A and B are shown apart, each in its own frame.
Chain A
């Protein structure tokens, strides 16, 4: 039996976990390929134009898997371990996916506000005929892999932060940052201009400091969305290091980003960190992006 996972959107929230989890339960896992023009075009064709660019990309990946696997895994992400909500687009993803493809959709609702992750995973396991203890073992293994990855990210962060180059932090969702087709290879472009990029997600947050001091003098509200809190905390943390500039990359039509951008921009500007806002969609030309990046790097000198 083969489980397909679209290499888009929610996949990038836990890139190690799901592959490991299902493989350990004895399934073959097929990931859709890295994003390319054909996938994006296919996704744009079936998507309502009001959807954000990232959702359109997701649909492209979903369609690619159709007919190639026994199930396509599309979890319904509602709330995370901190009881904060995911983007509302994620809530509806399995329902929309069912309309778009013939291959059965494997799904379960992850609402950690109501049910711990362990419980939901056990339910998911039951759907594919696996015992509780098998699920437990697969879960623990997957967590270990995730931990390794986190450690690697942390090491990467400290290695990069100590370099004596222009250091730019990229504030974006993982599905924009890790997908080089979607972000028009922004990391490579910045590297060619002599800058090192640090993804905001890589920034380690010192929990104790955060809980003690920063809670009182927070200059942003309690966000509704999980990434709002994460971003703002990590921005607070990265400001303690010596970074040269910050770039936020947002998908066109992303409602959450439109709200958050105001706080992100304010925070960097208050700390005298030059800030650039970039919007990406299926029409975005590389030339326009290049011009903005070159000019931004010039303003840092």
Chain B
């Protein structure tokens, strides 16, 4: 049985989605990256392998696609057939579930983006520029400050009838504003709901500035799990917000669909064995010019498979087998 694997490695989560030829999702995994993309990819592949041998040993992987901020690294260590940027992958995933979608709001761990679609393809987009206010890691930080598990953040926000106004232009100021609100006696619910509203406002004023937001609006990415954020966008936009199935792993699903559509004759996938191999990334400083680039080197069982992060291409353009 032919299947296609999509891997989305982001700053906070790493997701794996396996689909069959009818675009059915056979398995989906949402794992925390925890600063070690290599280990989490190996862990994900191991879990997937266990699933396959348990439920359907006839499964063979006919194509692998990677996306997310570590797509290059993921592509190197898995032997991906397609390495695709996360905007295209997310647009693909969203338009599969909501074919007539016009706007995608995607908020992940460190990136937030808006994608404008026409007839199922992305025609315009924007990502947060220099500021990461309004992304998942900000919510994570505030949740731990309030000693709330992030999973319960949304439901607590929904309990508020009177969200407090929290300045959201900058994460640092939002935080001091929040502490101030705590100290003058606002309830946790109102603060949490206020944070959600501030985030939504920040997203719409900065990332989505100047974009023509038309329904249907799809909200996806890790932060779309948050019920408070769903409500905040619904209220700020005055439109229905659609959260598609597999909303947290939809980038991985999108890239799986993309690799299936452009499937290779023979996949370059290195096999599930890579989860047992010794994969290491090290870096060294190139001294050839004053740029002093930190070149990163990936090795599988001691053999160099790729190098990157050099400005001039001296190392990244070399061919490795």
Q: Which residues of A contact B (CB under 8 A)?
A: 33, 36-39, 181, 185, 252, 265, 274-275, 277, 279, 281, 283-284, 286-288, 290-292, 294-296, 298-299, 301
Tell me which of B122, B126, B290 has the highest count of chain A C-beta atoms within 10 A of its own C-beta.
B290
Q: For chains A and B in complex, what number of residue pairs have CB atoms within 8 angstroms?
A: 58
- Among B84-92, B140-148, B167-175, B276-284, which stretch is in contact with chain A? B84-92
Does the CB pair A279–B130 fall under 8 Å? Answer: yes
Q: Does B98 count as interface, using CB distance less than 8 angstroms?
A: no
Q: Does B292 count as interface, using CB distance less than 8 angstroms?
A: yes
Given contacts A274-B124, A299-B124, A299-B125, contact A36 B85 (CB under 8 A): no
Task: Indicate which residue in A38, A284, A299 contacts B121 across the interface (CB closer than 8 Å).
Answer: A299
* CB closest chain-A residue, reference B309: A286
Task: Indicate which residue in B87, B126, B291, B292 contacts A298 across the interface (CB closer than 8 Å).
Answer: B87
Q: Which residues of B contact A (CB under 8 A)?
A: 69, 72, 84-88, 121-127, 129-130, 210, 289-292, 309, 311
Does the CB pair B311–A185 fall under 8 Å? Answer: yes
**Inter-chain contacts of A37 with B (CB < 8 A):** 290-292
**Inter-chain contacts of A294 with B (CB < 8 A):** 84-85, 87-88
Task: Indicate which residue in B88, B289, B309 contacts A295 across the interface (CB closer than 8 Å).
Answer: B88
**Inter-chain contacts of A279 with B (CB < 8 A):** 129-130
A45 to B309 alpha-carbon distance, docked (Å): 24
Taking A33-B290, A181-B291, A286-B309 as known contacts, 11 extra A-B pairs with beta carbons closer than 8 A to each other, sorted by chain A number, are: A36-B290, A38-B291, A185-B311, A252-B130, A279-B129, A291-B69, A294-B87, A295-B85, A295-B122, A299-B121, A299-B123
Given contacts A287-B69, A295-B88, A298-B88, contact A38 B127 (CB under 8 A): no
**Inter-chain contacts of A291 with B (CB < 8 A):** 69, 85-87, 127
Does the CB pair B69–A274 fall under 8 Å? Answer: no
Identify 30 residue pairs between A and B in the complex whose beta-carbon atoms are under 8 Å apart, listed by A's number: A36-B289, A36-B290, A36-B291, A37-B290, A38-B291, A38-B292, A181-B291, A274-B124, A275-B124, A279-B129, A286-B309, A287-B69, A287-B72, A288-B127, A291-B69, A291-B86, A291-B87, A292-B127, A294-B87, A295-B85, A295-B86, A295-B122, A295-B125, A298-B85, A298-B122, A299-B121, A299-B122, A299-B123, A299-B124, A301-B121
**Inter-chain contacts of B292 with A (CB < 8 A):** 37-38
**Inter-chain contacts of A33 with B (CB < 8 A):** 290
A211 to B162 alpha-carbon distance, docked (Å): 59
A292 to B113 alpha-carbon distance, docked (Å): 11
For the complex formed, measure the closest distance between the CB of A122 and the CB atoms of chain B, giving whole angstroms.
Answer: 39
A82 to B142 alpha-carbon distance, docked (Å): 54
A156 to B211 alpha-carbon distance, docked (Å): 34
Does the CB pair B130–A283 fall under 8 Å? Answer: yes
A183 to B130 alpha-carbon distance, docked (Å): 15
For the complex formed, measure the closest distance between the CB of A182 and the CB atoms of chain B, giving whole angstroms.
Answer: 12
Does the CB pair A274–B129 fall under 8 Å? Answer: no
A18 to B156 alpha-carbon distance, docked (Å): 66
A248 to B124 alpha-carbon distance, docked (Å): 14
For the complex formed, measure the closest distance between the CB of B206 and the CB atoms of chain A, giving whole angstroms.
Answer: 12
* CB closest chain-A residue, reference B113: A295
**Inter-chain contacts of B290 with A (CB < 8 A):** 33, 36-39
* CB closest chain-B residue, reference A275: B124
Does the CB pair B87–A295 fall under 8 Å? Answer: yes
A-B pairs, top 10 by smallest CB distance, nearest first, are A295-B87, A294-B85, A36-B290, A38-B290, A298-B88, A37-B291, A295-B85, A291-B85, A279-B129, A299-B122
